[in-house]
Amino acid sequence: MVRSTALSPLRHRNYRLLWTGLAVSQLGGWMQFTALGYLMLQLTDSPFYLGLLGLFQAVPRLSLAFLGGVLADRVDRRRLLMITNALPMASAVILGILTATRHITPWWLLIIAAINSAVNSFDMPARQSLVPLLVGDRDLLQAISLNSIAFNGSGVIGPSLGGLAISLVGTAGCFFANAATYLAVLHALRRMDPLPQVEKVQTPVLQDVREGLGLLLGNRLVLALLGIVAAQNFFGRPYVRLMPAIARDVLHVGPGGLGVLLSVPGIGTILGFLFLSYAARSGAQRRFLVTTSAAYGLSVVLFALTPRFWLALPALVLVGALQSTSQSTANTLLQLSVPDQARGRVMGLYGMMTFGMTTLGTLPVGAAAEAIGVSRAVAASGVLATLVVVTIAMVVPQFREGALTRSLPRRTVEL
């Protein structure tokens, strides 16, 4: 039997192709993320509009992510991914043209962000539920962790490149560069070998929706896992969206400093990946999930209350390590709790709790930043994240009974 290691998923050719394409495209995605927040603040001079940008991204994700999961269980996931990567490539080109021709307005930014969020509602569950087909259950945790590396590891370089590009070629250049990086994913998807066929869902769509909601409401542990993920993202993640205001008003740095601040959590992701591999082998997943989820909120508080740029950087390394490891663990446990043909739906729910709650949480935290200052608002949200996670861990019995993985049989839900 081949022993699973941190890099074992990369021995699977299809996964290796997908992971490489994802790493390249996320590089451009982080450049666009940096430019989008910077441009919005430049156009409006208001942290509230950064929160409004989050709201416009949250509504499509929360309303469509579960339907995206339903679709991922009914169609060829690879073909669906080709569509969901081609559409944001086109929108990035449009965004670049509008910015370069000086026709860009805050409302254009909000509308395009909402469209991209709607597309991502279908991309995320298809991509996440495709991974087990590429690597198998044995390498699943490591594969999900490597996906986190691709996303956050690209965040080490992408925001810095974004900040540099803003200084050299403006925000339009970042948008055009992001459009080009989608070609890497499309090329990887085209080169994949034929994939194992998952049993196609034959039931009506509305029945799929009802069964998926039954999965959420009828399994207390799945509900608790999603609750922890939701708390982390609603309360703990808005600091990312408010980073342009933190950089300018608290730490007093420009576009280059903003790029560095957005990059540093990616270093923590890499360090967290190494620790996650150890935790997976040790069988301490329950303690690891609860501890890192609670500590994540406290690390956000530490960052928010740090008044100097160079002191903020190690705090952000800790933030990145705790966030990526806890969510990778939750993602893995959720996928192992359902059969292959239901993974799209559970990943749709997971997508609602991650990106959807992050963007939704940005609006109240952004509004609080207007009223009491961005540092205090972000610190308060970090405290709330920790309190909710601790409360869930105390209320749900499965978090107090042995290792969490032993409480999740391979097939606990039959849909």
Would you state the structure tokens that stand for residue 301, as one six-digit string? 């508080």
Cβ atoms of residues 297 and 385 within 8 Å: yes
Residue 406: band (very low, low, confident or very high) from pLDDT cuts 50, 70, 90: very low
354 against 283, higher pLDDT:
354
Residue 280 has pLDDT above 80, yes or no: no
pLDDT tens, position by position, 100-125: 999 999 999 999 999 998 998 899 88
Can you tell me the mean pLDDT for 16-22?
A: 89
Residue 175 has pLDDT above 90, yes or no: yes
Q: Give CA–CA dist 272/326, Å, rounded.
A: 9
- Could you say which architecture CATH assigns to the domain 12-194+202-407? Up-down Bundle (1.20)
Residue 93 has pLDDT above 90, yes or no: yes
Predicted local distance difference test score (pLDDT) of residue 152: 64
User: Among 47-61, 170-184, 216-230, 271-285, which is the least confidently predicted range?
Assistant: 271-285
Predicted local distance difference test score (pLDDT) of residue 403: 42
Query: Is residue 206 classed exposed, middle or buried when 0-12, 13-18 and 19+ CB atoms within 10 A define those classes?
Result: exposed
Residue 3 has pLDDT above 50, yes or no: yes
Q: Give CA–CA dist 232/290, Å, rounded.
A: 11
The mean pLDDT value of the chain amounts to 81
Query: Is residue 289 classed exposed, middle or buried when 0-12, 13-18 and 19+ CB atoms within 10 A define those classes?
Result: buried
Element (DSSP H or E) covering residue 152: none
Residue 225 has pLDDT above 80, yes or no: yes
DSSP class of residue 201? Answer: P
Strand ranges inside 123-208, DSSP E: none
Can you tell me the mean pLDDT for 374-381?
A: 93
Q: Give CA–CA dist 90/96, Å, rounded.
A: 10
Domain layout of the chain by residue ranges: 12-194+202-407
Q: Give CA–CA dist 415/207, Å, rounded.
A: 10
Q: How many CA atoms lie within 13 A of 280 on its CB side?
A: 25
Q: Give CA–CA dist 344/404, Å, rounded.
A: 22
Residue 268: band (very low, low, confident or very high) from pLDDT cuts 50, 70, 90: confident
410 against 13, higher pLDDT:
13
